[in-house]
């Protein structure tokens, strides 16, 4: 496998072939890769939602702006859903699990709320916390996109959808979660003209500022 060749091969697919041919094994690998994505302080402030149910995909497609056909023709859809708030409870659970696995030295229980406060004061407003959580979710999106390319799975990352409708249809609103970004996967349709277009990127000189 040549990594750059695979990254050239991939593109944001506009129409899938509806063949439902992505195997469960491959889908499991995609989930595992997203799960392994790093995040700031290892807090993973998001959940990954996997939708394969056709009826639900159809309903989500109705709330997906210009992306309706992509979702209806895909084998499945990943939705990254971020936590709206980072509670002391979530934070403490995370710290105790890290300690249990020997990843950080034990912290006295009374110290945990202090560490939480210290973390939160770096993100003083709810919007800042959400912006931070979105960044972590996008990083996992990148991990997933690259994994798709390596495995030869076609995909389209999308911001064009109504987050509030997704939250409602997926029952996220009640879990203090909100959808951040989505990725449809499957097999490119022979009728998708996107596969014949030249990939456009700014030139290397415009892109790279190099201090050798």
Ligand X SMILES: Cc1cc2nc3c(=O)[nH]c(=O)nc-3n(C[C@H](O)[C@H](O)[C@H](O)COP(=O)(O)O)c2cc1C
Given the rule CB under 6 A, which residues bind ligand X? 11-12, 14, 67, 156-160, 181, 199
CB 203 to ligand X: min, Å:
15
DSSP-based three-state secondary structure for 50: strand
Tell the smallest beta-carbon distance from residue 149 to ligand X (Å). 10
Q: Whose Cβ is closer to ligand X: residue 129's or residue 149's?
A: 149
Pick 11 or 91: Cβ nearer ligand X? 11
Alpha carbons 194 and 14: distance in angstroms, whole number: 7
Residue by residue, DSSP assigns 74-96 as: SSEEEEEEEES---HHHHHHHHH
> Nearest distance from residue 161's CB to ligand X, in Å?
7
Query: Of all residues in this chain, which one has the CB nearest to ligand X in the complex?
Result: 160
Minimum CB separation of residue 141 from ligand X in Å reads 7
* Residue among 170 and 181 whose Cβ is closer to ligand X: 181
Q: How far is the CB of 156 from ligand X (least distance, A)?
A: 6
- Closest CB to ligand X among 50 and 157? 157
**Which residue number, 159 or 168, has a Cβ lying nearer to ligand X?**
159
Distance CA 169, CA 191 (A): 30
If 0-12 CB within 10 Å is exposed, 13-18 middle and 19+ buried, where does residue 81 land?
buried
Q: In the block, which residue shows the tokens 């023709």?
A: 73
Beta bridge partners of residue 178, listed in sequence order: 82
Residue 75 or 91 with smaller CB distance to ligand X: 75
Say how far apart CA 89 and CA 96 lie, in whole Å. Answer: 11
Query: Cβ 64 to ligand X, closest distance in Å?
Result: 8
User: At which residue do the structure tokens 């997704």 appear?
Assistant: 166
* Alpha-carbon separation of residue 172 from 7, 27, 51, 81 (angstroms): 33, 22, 13, 8
């Amino acid at each position: 496998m040549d990594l750059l060749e695979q990254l050239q091969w991939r593109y944001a697919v506009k129409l899938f072939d509806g063949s439902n041919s992505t195997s469960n094994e491959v889908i499991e690998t995609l989930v595992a890769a997203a799960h392994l994505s790093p995040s700031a302080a290892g807090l993973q402030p998001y959940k990954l939602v996997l939708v394969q149910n056709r009826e639900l995909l159809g309903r989500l497609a109705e709330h997906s702006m210009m992306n309706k056909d992509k979702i209806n023709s895909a084998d499945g859809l990943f939705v990254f859903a971020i936590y709206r708030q980072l509670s002391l409870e979530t934070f403490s659970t995370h710290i105790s699990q890290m300690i249990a696995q020997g990843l950080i030295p034990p912290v006295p229980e009374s110290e945990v709320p202090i560490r939480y406060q210290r973390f939160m004061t770096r993100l003083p407003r709810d919007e800042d916390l959400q912006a931070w959580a979105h960044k972590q979710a996008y990083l996992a999106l990148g991990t997933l996109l690259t994994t798709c390319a390596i495995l030869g799975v076609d995909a389209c990352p999308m911001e064009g959808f109504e987050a509030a409708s997704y939250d409602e249809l997926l029952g996220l609103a009640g879990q203090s979660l909100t959808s951040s970004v989505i990725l449809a996967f499957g097999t490119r349709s022979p009728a998708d003209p996107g596969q014949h277009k030249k990939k456009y990127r700014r030139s290397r000189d415009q892109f790279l500022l190099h201090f050798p």
